[in-house]
Amino acid sequence: MRINLVSIGNSRGVRIPASVIRECGLENELEMRVEDGSIILEPVKPVREGWDEAFREMAARGDDAAAMPESTDTAFDEDEWTW
């Protein structure tokens, strides 16, 4: 599909047909990036989207161990000391 750049104030833009907006699930806010000279527009994904499924997969693989030990006490913490 070919479209034209149109003037929008001091900038230029494109009009996205309603059928494309519906098909892509676009709403009011988009993510835009440039890759290899192409402009990529995507719907904004909610923060942490997909985390629940990722955690379930980690648990199924046994890859959900704590990153830090329960206690971070050291010998220094256990020795008696005074001011």
- Does the residue 80 lie in any domain? no
**Structural Rg of the chain based on CA atoms:** 25
SS (H, E, C) 15-46: CCCHHHHHHHCCCCCEEEEEECCEEEEEECCC
Q: In the block, which residue shows the tokens 């047909």? A: 17
pTM (two decimals): 0.51
Q: Angle at the Cα of 77 (from 75 to 80), degrees rounded to 5?
A: 95
- Does the residue 81 lie in any domain? no
Q: Give the pLDDT of residue 76.
A: 74
Report the CATH number at residue 30.
2.10.260.10
pLDDT at position 8 over 90: yes
Range of the structural domain that residue 35 is part of: 6-65
- Does the residue 27 lie in any domain? yes
**Over the stretch 15-40, which tens digit does the pLDDT of each residue have?**
999 999 999 989 899 999 999 999 99
Number of domains in the chain: 1
pLDDT at position 10 over 90: yes
